[in-house]
Amino acid sequence: MLHNGDLERRLTDDVLTGMTSNPTIFQKALAEGTAYDAQLRAAPPGLTLQQLFELVETTDVRDACDIFADVYHRTRGEDGFVSIEVSASVANDAKATVEEAHRLWKTVNRPNLLVKVPGTEEGARAVRQLTTDGINVNITLLFAVKAHERVIDAYIDGLEARVARGQPIDRIASVASFFVSRVDTEVDKRLEAIGGDARQHEGKAAVANAKMAYQLFARKFSGPRWSALEAKGARVQRPLWASTSTKNAAYRDVLYVETLIGPHTVNTIANFEKSFVTLTAGIQAKVTQLQHSTV
């Protein structure tokens, strides 16, 4: 997509305004193709699997950021973002998350980058610090409204900390990735086990949960506290509906797209992720293959 013109076509024909990446996407590409072979062969010797992965992902994400640069500038920093994800191994370590996010931000070195941070309690602490530091953050894997509130508060706290330092906040962007379809996957199983009239509620919990998250968003980004930041150019932390492909064949494939259209929302319309272990296994298999082919 980055090199055959397909991504540029999607920007013009499909009005695509942003892009995300995750370890599983790279694992699939590494396992099924040869697109990265030359890059991995040319990599400095002695790099760890994590370092090899970061070499691959930061190069691709930087190239994608450049393709979306026109969207970013045309919308004055509203759209045109590309996300890159910190390692799952730092999900419960705020300090390590901040350090890794800074490294990725510096390596990619593009204003339309979003660094994905998991929505754990430690992740929320990292969001506050990263926002204070002026780094765009995508908080991912949110399922509960309470967790959503925690990262909204962290973002607002970070903006206020920048204002207190006399630093600008008008170009800082953030999204909160609230996951949708998998809520129905779990709730539907429980409703099916209950049986009877309970089954009439199948396929409804995920949208209801997302709508409560949106109501929280509307409350948080209004009132005197937010107005003071907005007056200085602050942007809302947009709700991003993630995992919006239906997992139940009986549901319309756009169920979670059409029902969640609203002001300031983003929809990735994509499947998401397996564990980071899958990624390292894919990297290891590719490195082993290249070593044998070189010999």
Dihedral over Cα of 136, 65, 240, 12: its sign? positive
User: Which three-class secondary structure state does DSSP give residue 252?
Assistant: coil
Cβ atoms 227, 202 nearer than 8 A:
no
> Closest by alpha carbon to 60, among 19, 99, 9?
19
Q: Catalytic: which of 95, 116, 146, 286?
A: 116
Alpha helices, DSSP H, located in 166-260: 181-194, 205-220, 223-230, 255-258
Question: What is the phi/psi pair of residue 68, to 5°?
Answer: -85, 0
At CA 274, angle to CA 22 and CA 151, rounded to 5? 60
Longest dimension (CA), the chain: 67
Respond yes or no: is residue 116 known to be catalytic.
yes
Give the CB-side neighbour count of residue 260, counting CA atoms within 13 A: 33
Catalytic residues: 116
